[in-house]
Amino acid sequence: MYRKEKSIQLKSSSAALYNNLSVLHLPGRQLACFSAVHGPSANVVSTTADGLGFSHRQLQAKEGGMAISTSILTQAAWCVLPSRVLLVLTSQKGIQMYESDGSIMVYWHALDVTEHPPGQAVFARGIAAAGGRFICVGTSSGLVLVFDIPPKGTNVTVSEVLEQHRDAITDIAAELGQAPDGAGDLVTADDTGTLCVWSSGEEFTLICKIPAFGCTCSSVKLWNGVVAAGYGNGQIRLYEATTGLLRAEVNAHARWIYALDLAPETGKLLSGAEDSFVHVWKLSRNPDTDDVEIEHCHAECVTDTQVCGARFCDPEGNSFAVTGYDLSEILRYGRA
Domain boundaries, the chain: 2-60+73-112+121-335
pLDDT band at 286 (very low <50, low <70, confident <90, very high): confident
For every residue of 241-297, DSSP letters joined together read TTT--EEEEEE--SS-EEEEEEETTTTEEEEEETTSEEEEEEEEE-TTT--EEEEEE
Q: Report the CATH fold assignment for 2-60+73-112+121-335.
A: Methylamine Dehydrogenase; Chain H (2.130.10)
Beta strands 2-9 and 157-162 are unpaired
* Percent of the chain topping pLDDT 70: 95
> Of 59-63, 228-232, 264-268, which range is least confident?
59-63
Q: What pLDDT shows up at residue 164? A: 96
pTM exceeding the 0.85 threshold for the entire prediction: yes
Spatial neighbors of 119 by CB under 8 A, at least 6 apart, are none
The Cα 267–Cα 222 span in angstroms is 10
Does residue 296 contact residue 236 with C-beta atoms inside 8 Å? no
Q: What pLDDT shows up at residue 274? A: 96
Helix (H, G, I), strand (E, B) or coil at 115: helix
Residues facing 129 on adjacent strands: 135
Q: What pLDDT shows up at residue 235? A: 97
Q: What is the pLDDT of residues 94-139, one digit of tens each?
A: 999 999 999 999 999 999 876 556 667 899 999 999 999 999 999 9
What phi and psi values does residue 275 have, to the nearest 5 degrees? -80, 10
CB burial string 266-281: b at 16+ within 10 A, e below = bbbbbbbbbbbbbbbb
Does residue 296 contact residue 274 with C-beta atoms inside 8 Å? no
CA distances for 283 relative to 26, 114, 123, 262, 322, angstroms? 25, 42, 33, 9, 21
Spatial neighbors of 117 by CB under 8 A, at least 6 apart, are none
- 306 pLDDT above the threshold of 90: yes
Does residue 128 contact residue 172 with C-beta atoms inside 8 Å? yes
Q: What pLDDT shows up at residue 153? A: 93
Does residue 222 contact residue 165 with C-beta atoms inside 8 Å? no
The Cα 296–Cα 106 span in angstroms is 42
pLDDT band at 180 (very low <50, low <70, confident <90, very high): confident
